[in-house]
Amino acid sequence: MGTVTTADGTEIFYKDWGAGRPVVFSHGWPLTADAWDDQLFLLASHGYRAIAHDRRGGGRSGQPWDGNNLDTYADDLAAVIDALDLHDAVLVGHSTGGGEVARYIGRHGTSRVAKAVLLSAIPPLMLKTSANPEGQPLEVFDGLRARLTADRSQFYQDLSEPFYGANRTGSTVSQGLRDSFWLLSMTVGEKGAYDCIKAFSETDTTEDLKKFDVPTLIIHGDDDQIVPIAAAALKSAKIIPNATLKVYPGAPHGLAQTTAYKDTFNNDLLDFIKS
């Protein structure tokens, strides 16, 4: 574990487990690198170097007032990759982290990247516009901001329910997983969490996706209540050249942490990295 200092002086914390081909994980909002621990442990145990950082604004990284936008998130990711001198890396991004990976490739290219995985990811655009009628209205994201600033602790407890699909009939989501979501989210500063809502909802990554020139696996649940699949994976799969799309029937947004879907995702991830 260590830190990298970015151009604007922000310290970015990262964990670095194992040895071998690097697999770099970018987490979703409003979590931290710890959300990836199951996958980090798995890959490091299978002979890979598993790396994940805390996005600026939360966790063990710095909490600057400025820079909570997708461009800077991508540059922070680049700072970690460059500082560790990673090559032939596999980039894995969940939710906002998927947007971070897309913007990284858009801004920094793929000279250090061999493959990419977008899981329940925000690209190309979450916001509903005349050109993106499948997106969600601005009022949805205004509502997130209002609930965050009114009582962020309760907001995170409530958000964990649709995040993992705990509100669906027959759900096996544990209270422990929901508690973990709350715990990690509460380490994120309010300013970073607030600004990130605009970053993940209003940033169009269409042009970034067009620059993908490495094998890309897109995984999304068709019951994702946070990033609905119609405006996300189904569109990204058509934009990224030769992308592979896997839809998990009934899966929620945070599928990689749920007992119902974690093993399936982990196996698909390992198979894709090995292929």
DSSP β-bridge partners for residue 217: 117, 244
Q: Residue 37 catalytic? A: no
Bridge partners of residue 119, in order along the sequence: 94, 219
- Whether 229 and 119 have beta carbons less than 8 Å apart is answered as no
Catalytic position from the list 26, 95, 185, 201: 95
46 is a catalytic site residue: no
Q: Which residues of 125-164 are buried (b: 16+ CB within 10 A; e: fewer)?
A: bbbbeeebeebbeeeebeebeeebeeebeebbbebbbbbb
* Catalytic site residue from 34, 61, 224, 236: 224
27, 53, 94, 253: which is the annotated catalytic residue? Answer: 253
* Beta strand pairing call for 11-17 and 48-53: antiparallel
Q: Which residue has the tokens 């801004």?
A: 107
For the annotated catalytic residues, the residue numbers are 95, 224, 253
